[in-house]
Amino acid sequence: MKPAAFDYRAPRTLEEALGLLREHQDEAKVLAGGQSLVPAMNFRLARPAVLVDIARVPGLDRIDLDDPGSVTVGARVRHLDLEHNTIPGPLGVLLARTGRWVGHYPIRVRGTFGGSLAHADPAAEWCALACALDAEIHCRSANGARVVEACDFFEQMAFTTCLAPDELLMGVRLPSLGDSWGVGMAEFARRWGDFAIVLAIAAVERDGDSVARARIALGGVAGGPVRAAHAEAALSGRAATPESVAAAAAAAAEEVDPTGDIHGSADYRRDLVRTMVTRALNQALA
């Protein structure tokens, strides 16, 4: 369990980092917290020729609250900083609630938000959250910057994104959810800290006793995070009742097409979708 040989580079500026990515393209891998990449290298499942460590690149570790309509989370913000964030309103609550579920404490100390998105594990909490909130993923290469909608960022193949080999994920812009929003997060894993068998993230905008808009994303049921569109439709514009929640959860279970593994068959996962969506929605509507 020793990695294959690689070069290690530690650029001190963004320009230098992007230059290295342009130079080495597919041969390079960006190292941030290293909580997924380093084990993959030790298993020799990942064999980058060059590791570009962005630890010293300035400006990637900030949570930017300046824009009233959104919060931008820098790529190198640690899971733990989101778990203990000071972001006001429902977004702060959702990030804190979700952050607790990311791996184990030592992983949350080192691992990063941007790293999790770029790694794109199908059961990763942050990927589902980004997808649920229609986050904007800010990418940059030596040739310029672009913004990708979260749901387009993740390919429906595990560990695959639209990030080009020479691109660096800079940060993620999340909508600051106003006080009319409620948020919920539910996850089932065999053990605390394991990757989810199924997880659900819900954000619901209330309009009196009814639901104006519902956003529901699921992890662990496909190659990447997915939005439960039928479930959202089943709830949006309806009264916020146990019946409408049950209908949305049933719709979510119906619309997913999970595959099984040793921790849970497809049918079990489908049942868990119903339960997790119910629990996330109940939190969001509480």
Partner 1 sequence: MIGESVPRLEDRPLLRGEGRFVADIDLPHQLHMRIVRSHAAHGTITSIDAAEALAVPGVAAVWTGADVADVPPIDFRQVGADQMVPYRQPILAQRRVRYVGEPVAAVFAADPYTAEDGAERVVVEVAELPPVLDAAGPLGDFDERLDTEAYVFTEATGDVEEAFARAEHILEAEFRVGRHTGVPLECRGAVAAHHRDTQTLEFLGAAKVPFQNRDALAQMLGLPPSRVVLREAHVGGGFGVRGELYPEDVLVALAALRLGRPVKWIEDRQEHLVAANHSRDQLHRLRVATDARGVIEGLEVEFVSDQGAYVRTHGATVATLAAAMLPGPYRIPNYRVTGRVRLSNKTPAGTYRAPGRYESTFVRERAMDAVAAELGIDRAEVRRRNLIGSDEMPFERGIDALGTPVVYDSGRYETMLDRVLDHIDYSALTESLAERRAAGELVGLGLGFFVEKSGLGPFAGSRITVDGSGRVTVTTGEASVGQGFETVMAQICSDVLGVGLDSISVVHGQTDQMSYGMGAFASRATVMAGTATHDASEALRQRAIEAAAEMLEASADDLVMADGAVSVAGSPAQAVTLGEIASALGPASPLARGRPGLVAEEWYTTSHMNYPYGLHAGVAALDPDTGRLAFERYVIAYDVGRAINPMLVEGQIVGGAAQGFGGALFEDFSYDEIGQPQATTFMDYLMPTAAEMPDLEILLSEDAPSPLNPLGVKGAGEGGTNACGAVVAAAIDDALGRPGAVTSLPVTPERLHAMCRSLAATG
Residues of this chain that bind partner 1 (CB under 8 A): 1-5, 43-44, 188, 190-195, 262-265, 268, 271-272, 275
DSSP state of 25: G
Minimum separation from the CB atom of position 158 to partner 1 (A)? 14
Residue among 249, 219, 220, 210 at smallest CA distance from 232: 249
Nearer to partner 1, 134 or 194 (CB): 194
The Cα 197–Cα 125 span in angstroms is: 11
Nearer to partner 1, 13 or 265 (CB): 265
Nearer to partner 1, 126 or 195 (CB): 195
Minimum separation from the CB atom of position 117 to partner 1 (A)? 20
Nearer to partner 1, 153 or 195 (CB): 195
Minimum separation from the CB atom of position 147 to partner 1 (A)? 33
Residue 205 has φ and ψ, to the nearest 5°, of -95, 125
Nearer to partner 1, 137 or 231 (CB): 231
Encode 209-226: b = buried (16+ Cβ within 10 Å), e = exposed.
eebeebbbbbbbbbebbb
Minimum separation from the CB atom of position 279 to partner 1 (A)? 8
Minimum separation from the CB atom of position 275 to partner 1 (A)? 4
CB 58 within 8 A of CB 14: yes
Q: Can you tell me whether residue 182 is helix, strand or coil?
A: strand
CB 15 within 8 A of CB 61: no
